[in-house]
Amino acid sequence: MSIISYMEPDIDGKLHEECGVFGMYDLDGGEVASTIYYGLFALQHRGQESCGIAVSDTCGPKGSVNAYKGMGLCNEVFTPETLESLHGDLGVGHVRYSTAGSSSRENAQPLVLNYIKGTLALAHNGNLVNAPELRRELAYTGAIFQTTIDSELIAYYIARERIGSRNVQEAVVRAMKRLSGAYSLVIMSPRKLIGARDPFGFKPLCIGKKDNAYILTSETCALATIGAEFIRDVEPGEVVTITRDGLHSDRSMCFADPEKQARCVFEYIYFARPDTVFDGVSVYHSRILAGRCLAKDSPVDADLVVGVPESGNAAALGYALESGIPYGTAFVKNTYVGRTFIKPKQSNRVSSVRVKLNVLKEAVEGKRVIMIDDSIVRGTTSHQIVRMLREAGAAEVHVMVSAPPFLHPCYFGTDIPSEEQLIAHDKTIDEICMLLGADSLSYLRMERLYEMAGGLPICTACFSGDYPIAPPTEDIRGDYVR
C-alpha cells in the first residue's frame, strides 16, 4: 500500500463524477470478487478516492456478507490475498469520488446494512436533492447515521419499506417514490441482485451476462473488460431483479415519464470512457461529432489540431476530420499520476498540470495550434496549458471547447462548483480568452448537445440553468474536497 501524504483532487483541473457501480451474480455458484475487481478497475475513471467490494454466498448462511473497502485506487486497496478472502457468488462493488459527503473511509461504499429482515449491501451513483429533508425525517424517528452521504439514506428507506413489502424489489420501488434526484443503484440482498435507475435516467446503468452470470454496471466498457456480453440498458425508472431463476423486470413498477428524462450530457462529453455505449449512443462517436460541429461552427486557419488528454482527443480528431487540418499529439501524459501525489515543499513547488502533462516541443514549435478540451471550469488549468504551448514555441494557440460555457452548479452528482467560481459566470468569451492567453476561444453551441446525445432527452442545467428538478434550497453538496 502506498503512503499518500497529500490529496490534490483537482490535479488535472477537471470535473469529476461521483462514482461507478458494479454488481455480479454467478448462477453457477462461481466466485465473483476477482471479476468485480476487474470491473471496478475499468470504472476507475469514475472515482479514485475509495473503493470497495461486498460479497455473499447464496448457498451459505443467509445474510452473511463479507466486505472490504478502503481509501485509494483499486490496486492500492485490494491485494490478491484480500480478493481470495472474499468468498461468494453474489456481490457488489463501488469506486467513489465525493461530491456530497467528506472523503473518508466511513463514506466508502458499498454500504452494508443489517436490519430486521436481514442484510443489504448498496452501491450508489448520483446525488439526492432532497437529502437534508430525508435525513431530518429519519433522525427524528431515531436513526443513527454512520456516514455523511445520501447513499445511507437510500439504504435506510429501502430497509424501512422492506418491513411492509412482499420482497426487497418492492421495497426498492416504494423507497424510490421518496427519493428526488439522481441515482443508479446496485443492491445485494442475501439471494438477489437488484438494479435501479432514477426516473430521469441521470446516471447510466446497464445489464450484461458472462456465461451463466449476470452483471449490473455503470458502463459497457466494464463488461468488455471482463469479457461479458451487453444485454441492454436499465431504463429510467426501472427496477431489475436477478435471482436464481434469472433476470426479471416488472415494467408496471417503472414510473418514469419519457417526456421528463434527463440524461447527464457530461457522460458523453467527459465522464464515460470513449469505448462505452450509453443508452445506445457511442461515447466515442459523440465526441467525434462534437469536434466536427466545432469545425463547422468555429473554423480557424491553423497548422495542427491537438486534444487535451484524454477526453479532448476524440473531439480533436473530429475537428481534424471535418476541417482537413492535420491531427497531432502535443501532450505527453504521465499516466502514473492519479488524483493523489506528494505535495512538494514551498521552496520547490511544481505546477500540478506540469506534473501530469508535458508538451512535445517538436510537434508544436512554430505552428498555429488548435487545442481542444472538453470544458473550462475555473480557467486556471487551461491558462497553464496555453502557456506551456507558447513556451514550447507555438506561434498561435486557438482554444476550442467541446461543451458550452459552464454557468451554473450541478446538484446531481457532478462537482461543478458554485457560480462565483465558474470563469464563464461573469465574463464574456473575449474576456475569458484574454485570461487564458489564447488567440481565440470558441465553445460548442448548446443545440449541438442534442446531436451528441443522439436526440435523447438530456440534462443541460450546468449550461442553461434549466434544472429538470427544482434546485434544493439547502446546500446538499457537503464537504467538497478541493
Distance CA(136)–CA(132), nearest Å, equals 6
Distances (CA, A) of 441 to 299, 304, 323, 402: 11, 16, 17, 11
Query: What is the Cα gyration radius of the chain?
Result: 23
Q: Tell how far CA 43 is from the center of its chain.
A: 8
First to last CA, the chain: 24
**What does the chain come to in residues?**
482
Residue with cell 436533492: 129
Which is the catalytic residue, given 19, 206, 264, 462? Answer: 19
Q: Contact, 277 vs 450, CB < 8 A? A: no
Residue with cell 461486498: 54
C-alpha cell at 29: 455458484
19 is catalytic: yes
Looking at the annotation, which residues are catalytic? 19
